[in-house]
Every structure is written in C-alpha cells, then in structure tokens.
Chain A
Amino acid sequence: AQTVTQSQPEMSVQEAETVTLSCTYDTSESDYYLFWYKQPPSRQMILVIRQEAYKQQNATENRFSVNFQKAAKSFSLKISDSQLGDAAMYFCAYRSARVVVNKLVFGAGTILRVKS
C-alpha cells in the first residue's frame, strides 16, 4: 500500500521569506499523481499544486513550486514571498494513475505559521 510521510508537524516562516515543506512517499508504481492541498482555518481544502509523475519538469503555480525527485520519492513544496494568508495546514497527497484506484492518500499534514 502507498504511504505518504510529512515529517514536519509545524513550520514557521517570516512574511516575505521562503519556506519549504517536505513530503516523501512510498509506492511500487511508476505512474501516479502528487498533490499539495492547503487547509486554512476555515477548514476548506484547497488544491495548491499538482504533479504528474511522468513529467520531469517541476510544477509551479505563481509563488508555489515543487521539487519532485522521483527516484528519491520526494515531493517538497516551496512557498516564495510568504504571505499571512498562506498560514494553514498543508497536506501532501498521492494518487495512483490506475483508473480503478480512485483514492487519495494523504500525509499527516504540516501546520505552517507565518509571522508578520
């Protein structure tokens, strides 16, 4: 079974600075998808960024980018120019590309605090 590990329960960053959240995963599959979701205090889950495993290029979405290391099974999220609104719990998630397997497997989450 696939597992997702987020080893940082909490992280802090100064406003306007850069922070990196770690995520590793374990799978025997070669084709899959990886995601970062954000859950602010409102508890609404918001998709931050996605990465297809077959793509070598790291995904970017404005201030958010990932460092996808397939061989190392690592998928870290970098947030640049951190803003107060970035404060939230961040979840890394894995999904198999096999159509019959629809589930998202989530990591334990990392609480990100942004200091002004």
Chain B
Amino acid sequence: GAVVSQHPSRVICKSGTSVKIECRSLDFQATTMFWYRQFPKQSLMLMATSNEGSKATYEQGVEKDKFLINHASLTLSTLTVTSAHPEDSSFYICSARSGRSVAGELFFGEGSRLTVL
C-alpha cells in the first residue's frame, strides 16, 4: 500500500501555544488529504478535507480558526492547533487516497497524540 507519514507522533504543549502536525504522502501525490480526530476507544471523527492549493473543507462543528489546515504541496498537509487548550488534547490522524487505491480506500498516517497542559 501507499505510505503516509505523520510528525510528530507525540507532542506536549502548554495551554495557549500553537502546535503544528505534518502529514506527508511519501510515495504518491495526494491532491486530497483528510484529518481525523479520535478520542480513546472511540471512532474517527472527520474534521476536515484538505485540498491541495485551495482552502480546506471543514465538517460541521469544527472551528476553522482553531484548526488551521494548509495543503501547500501534493505531498504535504499541515494541521495547526492554534491557542491550544486541554480540551484539544486528542489523537489526530491524517489520511490520503492514493492513485493506487482500488476502491477509494484511505491510507493512514501513524497518528499524533497531542497533550495540552
């Protein structure tokens, strides 16, 4: 399958600071990437769809100004959690669809665990 890499895998920050998470497609170009948030033992919640060269499409209830998404190249999308607060602590996962996807399946990054103190 295609490889998607996320960095950092773990990040701890102080309340009020901003944190950037990177998502890279290593062996394919991704015009679209997806950002998910996952709470312990729960399902993945789609936050936004990241489109290369254009604005991200956010799901209902997701604050655009809180979660800034930039997809500046065909292999990189970034999620910036601005002015982070403890309630933003979560597991964030990115994913992308490769041209090799047979049925439109997504390939996922390893995830990033954010802890806001």
Contacts and interface: CB of A to CB of B under 8 A. Distances in A.
B110 A102 contact: no
A104 B1 CA distance: 18
A35 B43 contact: no
Q: What bracket does the count of chain A residues touching chain B fall in?
A: 20 to 34
Given A47-B1, A95-B104, A103 B46 contact: yes
Contacts, number: 56
A107 B43 contact: yes
Contacts of A89: 41
Contacts of A104: 34, 46, 106
Interface in B77-117: 91, 93, 95, 97, 102-108, 110-111, 113
B103 A52 contact: yes
Given A43-B91, A43-B111, A95-B104, A108 B1 contact: no
Greatest chain A CB density within 10 A among B43, B93, B102, B113 is at: B43
Interface of B: 1, 32, 34, 38, 41-44, 46, 49, 91, 93, 95, 97, 102-108, 110-111, 113
